[in-house]
Structure 1
Amino acid sequence: MTRVATLAAAFVVTLAAVTGGAAVTGYVTADGAAPAPEIQNDHYQNPDLIANDTPGQATVEMDASVGSQTVLVDPGVEATGAGPALPISLIGLGGGGVADRDIRPLANALIENGHEVGVYVPDPDQRRRPAPPGADRPTQLGERLAEADAFVTFRTDYDPEQLDEIESFVDSGGRVVLATEPDAAYSQPGAAGLDATLDVATEPGYVYNMNENDLNYQRVYAEAAGDAPLTEGVDRAVLPSATPVDAPAGGTDVLRPTEGSELSTTRAATEAPLLVRNDDVVMVGDGDFLSPENAARADNDALIGNLADFLVTNDRTPPGAGGPTGPTQPPTNGTAG
């Protein structure tokens, strides 16, 4: 037998062995498709990691019985022109399509309980009006804060004048909820300035948990660090992408990640808080937990309701109380207001 014939015979024998073995072991079926192999990895079969496809309905309720308050929301959106026709659509209300910052559960709870929700979007085309001699004219943000009782912000990059206005707002009893993200310290260089103004801080990186989580390892569970109004009715909350936060100047830890959580920058276990309170300021290391789809996870709806109560139970005393607190409004129907 020649060398070519020998090689051809060996190929035929090998091919028969492969296809025959595949047929015997079940890798090739009658329809030509291979059956899915049985998963043997324990971490895929952990019942704590199975997604809950029926989380239920979010019920955001408020307990505070106070007069109507005005809550100003900065969704962290930069206007490119004259601004959107319906700014309130930027927080998921009053418009179609996908909102840039959907916080309908919080906004709806406030509105349904008689409070007003305003949206701040800086208008690059609006020039500051000249101030009278010896007086300072507030920024666009300062004008809006003068008419507000509470402030919710997802932005961290404020200029020095705005930081001074935010500080004055808190000093006068206004309440602030600051929601940050793991990449804020890198994408917005002014974050350190706002943190210092509000006496809060963040730690680089994100928290994850491979052992127990909601849908994926970055959606960590957080539990109450102690008894506090903000955690009433909250056994555990879900934060989709959280960074550690702190209130170093005598603040209070409110929520901490559950056991088994680790920090991305160190790969070490962490118990660093994910939500803290410093008097009239609350800082949370995530902003997406306020969205409708996340409000239905765990006890997020109870947490959102508690934050709404926190915002409206303020002791706001606007500068110059007893007189106008904001810019003069134009006359209505030809008569002076």
Structure 2
Amino acid sequence: MSDLRTLAAAFVVTLAAITGGAAVTGFVTADGAAPAPEIQNEHYVDGDAVANDTPGEATVEMESTARSQTVLVDPGIDASGGVPASPLALLGLGGGGVADRDVRPLANALIENGHEVDVYVPGATRQRPAAGPGGPGAPGGGPETALGERLADADAFVTFRTDYDEAELSAIEEFVDSGGRVIVATEPDAAFDRPGAVGLDATLDITTEPGYVYNMEENDLNYQRVYAEPTGGSDAALTEGVDRAVLPTATPVGTAAAGSDVLRPIEGSELSTTRASTEAPLLVRTDGVVMVGDSDFLSPENAARADNDALIGNLADFLVTGGQAAPGGQRAPTGPSGNRTAPSGPDGPSGNQTAPSGSQDPSGNQTAG
């Protein structure tokens, strides 16, 4: 009798094991793996965070009627690395290759309004006319740097925080003191890639902060493409027609001058180094110097975002409404508008080149010939 009970108990245990295993197997094989949990990424699904990716075409216009001015651009290229046959290609002009600094919206606006765009390649030199009073060959004149020579023929200067030596910094300071206009465009990584650029900041009395500005709540296509808006007391000439600008990779900038803030990031913006909210300016002006905490906004694809085209046009006007004094402290000859006219010179052996204000590409935008 005991054997019968033992067999019955064993049968029940075996049946339970088989039934339970079949149930588990059926659950796994019938439905497959359990569905993955939904992950909420607000910066991907928020309607305010995704802007129109087809904003239209940029219309960069200038209001200034100034006589022809010469704008010198330093794209930050070392001559030892090789210079293209046409240095204007470094700015995206006159060729189909990839530009180191594609600033065609700014350059074309200047050219179309009768101004000249000249490219400076560090380390290159060009011939100059015989020195006049106080020039390189005059008593006490001393040798000029290649940059100083180029600035002597220019009315405005655009640079991307390139490293400069003491002689070049002195030439830039003299240029500004003489009434020349300067735009400095920087990037968040400039402090690491070009540590010598701090000398330029000190010369021009401008500053930068480490890190980049981002906005997870409202941005243009991604969190690093932040919106910037004019401040309450900002420079009207620089912000005319600008409700919002898009700066693709912005770093805070500043100056010691009061009331110099022009553009600040919108509400919800934060600084990468602190993860705290920031209202630090992204564009400032002090007298004849403008500093922008971004350079990519000047490219063709970004000129069409928000009011960037209006901002670029205003910066072009800023560049040509200065006019530096001639060597010796006297003002250079002026036209009816009161602005110094910049003579055109032939290209030098360095390969540095000036964009003529008359040739056009098939699109109707003037470019280098």
Q: Same fold (TM over 0.5)?
A: yes
Please tell me whether the aligned partners of residues 195 and 201 of structure 1 are also in contact (alpha carbons under 8 angstroms): yes
**1:157 and 2:167 correspond:** no
Q: Show the counterpart of 1:21.
A: 31
Structure 1 residue 244: deviation in Å?
0.5
1:174 alignment partner in structure 2? 180
Counterpart selection for 2:154 from 148, 153, 167:
148
Conserved in 1, the CA contact under 8 Å of 2:325 and 2:331? no
Q: Which runs of 5+ in 2 are unaligned?
A: 1-9, 129-135, 334-341, 348-369
- Separation (CA, whole Å) in 2 of partners of 1:251 and 1:267: 26
Amino acid at match of 2:155: D
Percent sequence identity over aligned pairs: 69
1:73 aligns with 2:73: yes
Q: 1:7 to 1:117 in 2, by over 3 A?
A: farther
Give the 3 Å change call, closer, same or farther, for CA 51–38 of structure 1 in structure 2: farther
Q: CA deviation at 1:262?
A: 0.6
State the TM-score, normalized to the length of structure 2: 0.78
* 1:142 Cα offset (Å): 0.9
Alignment equivalent of 1:249, drawn from 245, 252, 257 = 257
| Other-structure match for 2:355 | none
What is the Cα deviation at residue 16 of structure 1? 2.6
Query: Is the Cα contact below 8 Å between 1:205 and 1:264 reproduced in 2?
Result: yes
Checking the alignment, whether the CA contact within 8 Å between 1:81 and 1:123 is kept in structure 2 is no
Matched, 1:194 2:204: no
Match of 1:293 among 289, 297, 301: 301
Partner residue, 1:206 = 212
Distance 1:244 1:40 in 2: 30
- With normalisation by structure 1, the TM-score equals 0.85
CA shift, 1:183, in A, is 1.2
Is the contact made by 2:247 and 2:294 (CA closer than 8 Å) also made in structure 1?
Answer: yes
Is 1:59 the counterpart of 2:59 in the alignment?
Answer: yes
Give the alignment partner of residue 279 of structure 2, picking from 268, 271, 277: 271
Secondary structure of the residue aligned to 2:285 is strand
1:63 and 1:95 map into 2 onto residues whose CA distance is 28
Q: Highest CA radius of gyration, 1 or 2?
A: 2
Change (3 A) 1:216 1:70: same
Provide the rounded CA distance (Å) in 2 between the counterparts of 1:151 and 1:223: 25
Counterparts of 1:329 and 1:97, CA distance in 2: 24
* Alpha-carbon shift at residue 329 of structure 1 (Å): 7.5
Once superposed, which parts of structure 1, at least 4 consecutive aligned residues long, lie more than 2 Å away? 5-16, 36-45, 79-83, 123-128, 131-135, 320-326
Offset of 1:45 from its aligned partner?
Answer: 2.3
- Determine helix, strand or coil for the equivalent of 1:193: helix
Structure 1 unmatched runs, 5+: 28-35, 331-337
Q: 1:179: how far off?
A: 0.3
Q: For 1:195-222, what per-residue CA distance to the aligned partner results, in whole angstroms no more than 9, with x for missing partners? A: 1111111111111111010011111000
3-state DSSP class of the match of 1:118?
A: strand
**Count of paired positions:** 318
For the Cα contact (< 8 Å) 1:240–1:288, is it kept in 2? yes
Give CA deviations for 1:225-263 in whole Å, capped at 9, x if unaligned.
134210000000000011101111335100000001111
Q: 1:170 to 1:45 in 2, by over 3 A?
A: same
Partner secondary structure for residue 282 of structure 1: strand
TM-superposed deviation, 1:125 = 8.8
Q: Which amino acid aligns with 2:27?
A: A
CA contact (8 A) 1:73 1:151 kept: yes
Question: Residues of 1 paired with 2:25 and 2:99: CA distance?
Answer: 59
Contact 1:163/1:193 (CA < 8 Å) preserved in 2? yes
Q: Distance in 2 between matches of 1:107 and 1:329?
A: 19
Alignment of 1:283 with 2:319, yes or no, is no
